[in-house]
Amino acid sequence: ESLAGRFEVLRSTHWLLSEMSEAFDYGMEDYLHFGGYPGAAAFKSDPERWITYMRDSIIEATVSKDVLQMEDVRKPALLRNLFMLGAQYSAQEISYRKLLGQLDDKGNAATMAHYLELLSGAGLMAGLKKYDPKSLAVRSSSPRLLVRDPSLMTATWGGSMDAFFGNPSLRGHLVETAVGVNLLARAQTERFEVHWWRDGGAEVDFVVTKDDQLVAIEVKSGRIKGTKGLTEFCSRFPNAKPLVIGDRNTSIEDFLRGSVPLFD
């Protein structure tokens, strides 16, 4: 019998901190700034050249060529603007209506959701859905935007890096982005789902599900916020395992290096 068409999928994600550390001696701050593109590591000592490489060889080439080869995109300018705006809002919730208002375009929510899927498939940006046991509520929720590599956020920043890293809110979102990038990469090989959760003023950064296991993750990233959301989530879902990344028990760097297990 013919074996034509049989294959094994080997998933190659963006390089994580452990891989960039081993290959290029990256520390955590290097990874937050320059991300997991090995081709860009050669320009680490020349920030201007690094930004040019990222914008021209990675972002523009992917949006203008790779994505358009995947499917016929009716509004390529909207697709490009969606990524550029979304990268600035990485690790934040933003409704499709607000996105359309910011982009000043006549598209609709379905178009935006589809373009987010294309950007995710091209390895640029994902839209995390809100966790809810009811699948219909998950599908209708606003996305939490998340670039697929920390460098995609810093490379699209229009100001100086000193101003970026000196802003606790921006740096906090960058750290949360790096944690989300790690989760999305691991999800492809460890076979779990990544969501987020919010109800009123209670919010959880990431919710990870695998079979009947549920993990609620809060990231202490430098932004001013408490753990009210984590407490509320665990009270509503008693089977959830709480995990705080950035406290004295679980450092951000340990998690980014892959040394923190998610499931029992």
pLDDT band of residue 79 (cuts 50, 70, 90) is: confident
pLDDT band of residue 156 (cuts 50, 70, 90) is: very high
Q: Span 77-105, mean pLDDT?
A: 80
- The amino acid at 17: L
5 contact partners, CB below 8 Å, separation of at least 6: none
Dist. CA 183–CA 190, nearest whole Å: 10
Query: For position 208, what pLDDT does the model report?
Result: 96
Angle of the 96-103 helix axis to the 109-121 helix axis, nearest 10: 90
Query: For position 115, what pLDDT does the model report?
Result: 87
Specify whether the CB–CB gap between 194 and 215 falls below 8 A.
no
Mind listing the pLDDT tens digit for each residue in 208-227? 999 999 999 999 887 666 67
Mind listing the pLDDT tens digit for each residue in 247-256? 888 999 999 9
> Is the pLDDT at 181 greater than 80, yes or no?
yes
The structural domains of the chain, with segments of one domain joined by +, span 17-256
Query: For position 146, what pLDDT does the model report?
Result: 95
- The amino acid at 205: D
Residue 66 exposure: Cα atoms within 13 Å on the Cβ side: 14
> Is the pLDDT at 130 greater than 70, yes or no?
yes
Nearest Cα to 38, choosing from 65, 10, 9, 13?
13
pLDDT band of residue 140 (cuts 50, 70, 90) is: low
